[in-house]
Amino acid sequence: MTKCPFSGVTLSPGAARPGPVSFAQICDVMPIGAMTCDLTTFTIDYANPYSIELLHSIRETIGIDPDQIIGTSIDVFHKNPSYQRELLSEPGNLPHKARIRFGDEWLDLRIHPLPEPDGQVRRALLVWSIATAEVLKEQEEYRLLRMIDDMPVAVMTVDPATYCITYANETSKRTLGQIDEHLPLKAADLLGASIDVFHKNPAHQRRLLADPANLPHNARIKVGPEVLDLQASAVRGTDGAYLGPMLTWSLVTQQVAAEARIQQLAHYDTLTGLANRTTFREHLGAALARGRAGLGLLFIDLDGFKIVNDSHGHLVGDALLRHVADRLRVACARPGMMVSRLGGDEFAVLTPEIAPADLAAFAQGLIDTLVAPYQVETERCLEVGASIGIAVAPEHGDAPEALLSRADMALYSAKAAGKRTFRLFCTEMEVRLHERVRLEAKLRAALADMDGLFLYYQPITDVRTRAVTAREALIRWHHPGRGWISPAEFIPIAEESGLIRDLGAWVLRRACEDAASWEDGARVAVNVSPRQLGTGTLASAVLDALFASGLSPDRLEIEVTESALLGDEKAGLADLRRIRDMGVRVALDDFGTGFSSLAHLRAFPFDKIKIDGSFVRDAVQRPDCAAIVGVVADLGRRLGVTTVAEGVETQAHLDLVIAEGCSEVQGYLLGRPAPRAADLPRIADLTAPFPTRKTA
């Protein structure tokens, strides 16, 4: 048996033999470009018809005439002809494969040696095809693959039959490397691994991914302390057939923590960790919507917290609030109870159905818990009080705002009752609140019209000469409907409503105007509210009053209480220094009833100390009060400061304060408050009697 050298067909003995077939005849019918090249001249000496056809299709790109291809140098098929010739000169380099680009076209070229009978290679066969579409497809797939590899989201594909990972981008491997200590899988072993390692319920996951109707699907899964966001999508072929799932996932542990933090900030107080006002309001609304009777709302306000906060600093104040919150948590650790910090030093407690008597006992227990001393810092013990207002649903309101408002009214009543106590809302509180609102409106109108406001003056007398050295200006208000109203009632309203600034400015102007007309040249003493001090406006108000009246600055005394300095003490003392620099005298009023008295005397050079009348009135019967009067008088003498004994109502009082060394006295014995002469006719027309005791 023999084999045909061109066709490769085996011929059996006796079979009819085909005629001889040339190499060119074979190549002429090949459905691929075929050309031969003379390696001595590097020119093309044969090209099959398909080559001519292909060359015509890329004629513009390749830049040669396909019909003139025979005899053309093969240099046209390579950008580096010298390299190509060097390659073909050495038969040992063949066969050789190359991909060549002509403009937008790509050719796949394979070069094979054509040995002659003597074994020499003088010619080469070039087999080629246009690979542009294939190359573009490969490039597109490559670009897509690179894009997927570079995506910040982990991407994996899964075999739908075995549920094993068939592809994983670089982000998958990199991210898995951060959490593989929590998985029975290492990043290096990702390909071929089962996706069961990513889910606590593999059977459920497999059922989900098996049916493309379930996709896309999102899930958040926890791997140890880490959290993954996972999305499964269906990958389909060009015919729409389901090829399998693609998983995209990312490590969102920090994001989840941030979301939790945002939720915490939105619903809980950052300082104490208690529910904030918004959350409490929502919880209260939900509880009221359920319509259960006996729901209790307790408003808690700390007594004296501002003093602690201002005197010890905000860091200590914040620490104290955290301690208060901790005590409330323990005291309210009962089913159905909720504790909230509404803001500042205000807290609230919501209780489930509870009998009124039990609610009262619970409120008193909270007060007892909160007033116990606090160990806030090393060797520092602080005390605050607590006042509580209580409202009960539905009898005091079946809507959140109504119940909150009435609990607030009850709290205001508890504060007015002396603090460190609780009050249950009653309708009289609402009546009093409305009356207070009406009183504020009337006071505002009186200030606008200057109708019904008067200044009375009480003399301050030198104990030796009995001469009047000064007169204290005391404001009085006659209400058209209620008659004379005590300053103890309307001054707090003016302070809380902000009217005190205008009221204080009016008092300063009127007092300076009146004092300018006094023939005895006595000074005028004007009280300043704590709300006026530390705002930066007092000095300008004093200057305006002095300028308008023409009163000499040394004839004006500004009286401040120690409590006025317990706010922003630095700003308050700055205000006092400004007016003292003008030549105005400054007196410390009600000395002995406030806080840190000696510290205030050291911080500011007061011109006068006024001993509170409560010590003077009790001094005759109580040696301790007499001793306090004597100590303060001696302190004033050593500091070179005038001491005034207030509340001198009897001769015994006068004798005692003189004996103890006081410089001046003030009280009913030597002079009651009286209006200026110009106001006497108007006051005479008023029918209501004027209070006979000093109330401001």
Beta bridge partners of 370: none
Same domain for 232 and 282? no
Least confident of 96-100, 336-340, 386-390: 96-100
| pLDDT of the residue at 432 | 83
**514 CB burial (10 A radius; 0-12, 13-18, 19+):** buried
Residue 596: band (very low, low, confident or very high) from pLDDT cuts 50, 70, 90: very low
Q: At 573, which CATH number?
A: 3.20.20.450
| pLDDT of the residue at 266 | 75
pLDDT in tens, 79-93: 777 877 888 888 788
pLDDT in tens, 477-530: 998 788 889 998 899 888 888 899 999 999 999 999 999 999 999 999 999 988
pLDDT in tens, 628-674: 899 989 988 998 999 999 999 999 999 999 999 999 999 999 999 99
Same domain for 539 and 507? yes
Strand 642-645 with 664-665, pairing: parallel
Alpha helices, H only, 269-336? 277-289, 305-312, 314-331
How large is the C-alpha radius of gyration of the chain?
Answer: 50
Determine, yes or no, domain membership for 433. no
Domain end residue (candidates: 392, 425, 458): 425
pLDDT in tens, 527-575: 998 888 888 889 999 999 999 999 999 999 999 987 776 656 778 888 9
Contacts of 509 (CB under 8 A, 6+ apart): 544, 545, 548, 549
Least confident of 159-168, 378-387, 681-690: 681-690
How far is 629 from 624, CA to CA, in rounded Å? 9
Cα atoms in the Cβ-side hemisphere of radius 13 Å centred on 663: 19
Find out whether 448 and 414 touch, Cβ atoms under 8 Å: no
How far is 644 from 615, CA to CA, in rounded Å? 12
Same domain for 174 and 116? no
Same domain for 295 and 401? yes
Higher local confidence (pLDDT), 227 or 272: 272
CA geometry: angle at 49 spanning 45 and 50, to 5°?
A: 115
Determine, yes or no, domain membership for 200. yes
pLDDT for residue 99 is more than 70: yes
Same domain for 339 and 398? yes
pLDDT for residue 8 is more than 60: no
Residue 472: band (very low, low, confident or very high) from pLDDT cuts 50, 70, 90: very high
Same domain for 532 and 651? yes
Determine, yes or no, domain membership for 6. no
pLDDT for residue 71 is more than 50: yes
Find out whether 126 and 107 touch, Cβ atoms under 8 Å: no
Find out whether 639 and 657 touch, Cβ atoms under 8 Å: no
pLDDT for residue 77 is more than 70: yes
Determine, yes or no, domain membership for 15. no
Q: At 43, which CATH number?
A: 3.30.450.20
pLDDT for residue 614 is more than 90: no
**What domain range includes position 118?**
22-134
Cis amide bond preceding 20, omega within 30: no
What are the CB-based long-range contacts (under 8 Å, 24+) for 602-608? 603/569, 603/573, 604/573, 604/576, 604/577, 605/580, 606/641, 607/557, 607/641, 607/642, 608/557, 608/641, 608/642, 608/643, 608/644
**DSSP summary character for residue 23:** H
How far is 389 from 276, CA to CA, in rounded Å? 19
Determine, yes or no, domain membership for 443. no
pLDDT for residue 181 is more than 80: no
| pLDDT of the residue at 687 | 58
Determine, yes or no, domain membership for 651. yes
How far is 386 from 370, CA to CA, in rounded Å? 7
Q: Length of the chain, please?
A: 696
Same domain for 104 and 200? no
| pLDDT of the residue at 203 | 78
Same domain for 416 and 453? no
Q: At 289, which CATH number?
A: 3.30.70.270
pLDDT in tens, 394-420: 888 888 899 999 999 999 899 888 888
Determine, yes or no, domain membership for 606. yes
In one letter, which amino acid is 154? A
| pLDDT of the residue at 144 | 62
pLDDT for residue 11 is more than 60: no
Determine, yes or no, domain membership for 438. no
Same domain for 323 and 389? yes
- If phi > 0 it is left, if psi is from -120 to 50 it is alpha, else beta; for residue 295 that is beta
Strand ranges for 186-236 from DSSP E: 217-223, 226-236
Same domain for 87 and 234? no
Arithmetic mean of pLDDT over the chain:
83
Q: What percent of the chain has pLDDT over 90?
A: 31
Residue 314: band (very low, low, confident or very high) from pLDDT cuts 50, 70, 90: confident
How far is 167 from 488, CA to CA, in rounded Å? 83
The number of domains in the chain is 4
Same domain for 323 and 232? no
How far is 125 from 130, CA to CA, in rounded Å? 17
pLDDT for residue 228 is more than 70: yes
| pLDDT of the residue at 298 | 94
Instruction: Report how far apart, in Å, the C-alpha atoms of 414 and of each of 363, 389, 397, 406, 624 are.
Output: 12, 7, 19, 12, 32
pLDDT for residue 366 is more than 90: yes
Same domain for 410 and 460? no
Q: What is the average pLDDT across 130-148?
A: 66
Tokens encoding 381: 């013990």
Q: Break the chain down into helix, strand, coil percent, rounded to 5.
A: 45, 25, 30
Q: What is the average pLDDT across 320-336?
A: 92
Higher local confidence (pLDDT), 311 or 423: 423
pLDDT in tens, 204-224: 777 877 778 878 888 777 777
Angle between helices 253-267 and 277-289 (to 10 degrees): 70
